[in-house]
Amino acid sequence: MSIVVTGATGHLGRHVVEQLLEKVPADRITAVVRTPEKAADFADRGVRVAVADYNAPETFQGLFSAGDKVLLISGNEFDKGRVGQHEGVLDAAKAAGVALFAYTSAPGSLKAALADDHRGTEEAILASGVPYVLLRNGWYNENYTEQLTPVLEHGAVVQAAGEGRVASAARADYAAAAVAVLTGEGHENKTYELSGDTAWGFAEYAAELSEQTGQEIAYNPVTVEALTGILTGVGLPEPVAAMLAGVDASIEKGELAVTTGDLSRLTGRPTTPIAESVAVALKG
């Protein structure tokens, strides 16, 4: 019986494995990765490393054991059919008879196209009959704080979200919620709407950046079309740029401002304020 984490060498996955190591013996953790060299540090610490690729469902066959608790971290290959990728993992987990199948989904309130793969995956999970947990993760603070270079260069936060607000939290917070579910009891067939404790707007965010950098930084709201153009201009493929800019339209409508308290209840502590993630990012 193991706690199995896919996407373990990603940003969120690394936080999950690190936090699991604080709670359970290393040999009870399996990190599923597609590039084992990236997981050498985990292997050195006694974590079992398994190699599998969402694009090759057969690589997941035989990877799980009866009674395992699995965290499927959603993939990031938008053009590869993520629902099908995730179904490959789910089928193998079902065949093995896992005790729990947790999935990092998107907020139920989010109607942007980006959420479609998550809704499709949720439907497959529910139809499978496997004991599940839906971790409907809200936005990461780091979506913004890890993109500070152009902001500082131009003295402007450029978003297409109008006066919309975002209840974001740090990746480490969402990881802590996943760890609470994977190491705790009584989470079967629950759906958690995870978000930061408070929602903030981009004008406030720009003011926080100004305060912490000593540089005048303004919020420059633009249209979704203009933001799509900016993102394609820096090299993103048009469909991805449109999908990301579409999230801003959702933010303007309040779809990512919902605060349920589920995240801090699961972790037992307040979520990380955006100001704290800004400070971490500025320290570099």
> Are 253 and 161 spatial neighbours (Cβ–Cβ below 8 Å)?
no
The only residue of 101, 103, 132, 139 in contact with ligand NAP, by rule CB under 6 A: 139
> Are 139 and 112 spatial neighbours (Cβ–Cβ below 8 Å)?
no
Ranges within 67-96 binding ligand NAP (CB under 6 A)? 73-77
CB of 151 to ligand NAP, least distance (A): 17
Task: Choose one: 47-55, 146-154, 227-235, 258-266; the region binding ligand NAP (CB under 6 A).
Answer: 47-55
Which residues are bridge partners to 137 per DSSP? 194
Tell whether residue 144 is a contact of ligand NAP (CB under 6 A).
no
Closest CB to ligand NAP among 143 and 198? Answer: 143
The only residue of 128, 143, 210, 259 in contact with ligand NAP, by rule CB under 6 A: 143
Tell whether residue 10 is a contact of ligand NAP (CB under 6 A).
yes
CA distance 248 to 253: 9
One-letter amino acid at 149 equals T
Site string for ligand NAP, 176-215 (x = CB under 6 A): ----------------------------------------
Tell whether residue 104 is a contact of ligand NAP (CB under 6 A).
yes
Which stretches of 29-81 are DSSP H helices?
40-44
The only residue of 55, 210, 213, 220 in contact with ligand NAP, by rule CB under 6 A: 55
Other residues' Cβ atoms within 10 Å of the Cβ of residue 6? 28
184: exposed, middle or buried (Cβ count in 10 Å: 0-12, 13-18, 19+): exposed
Both tokens of 18, joined, read: 């690190």
Other residues' Cβ atoms within 10 Å of the Cβ of residue 224? 17
CA distance 218 to 195: 26
Residue nearest to ligand NAP according to CB distances in the complex:
10
Contacting residues toward ligand NAP, per CB under 6 A: 7, 9-13, 34-35, 38, 53-55, 73-77, 104, 137, 139-140, 143
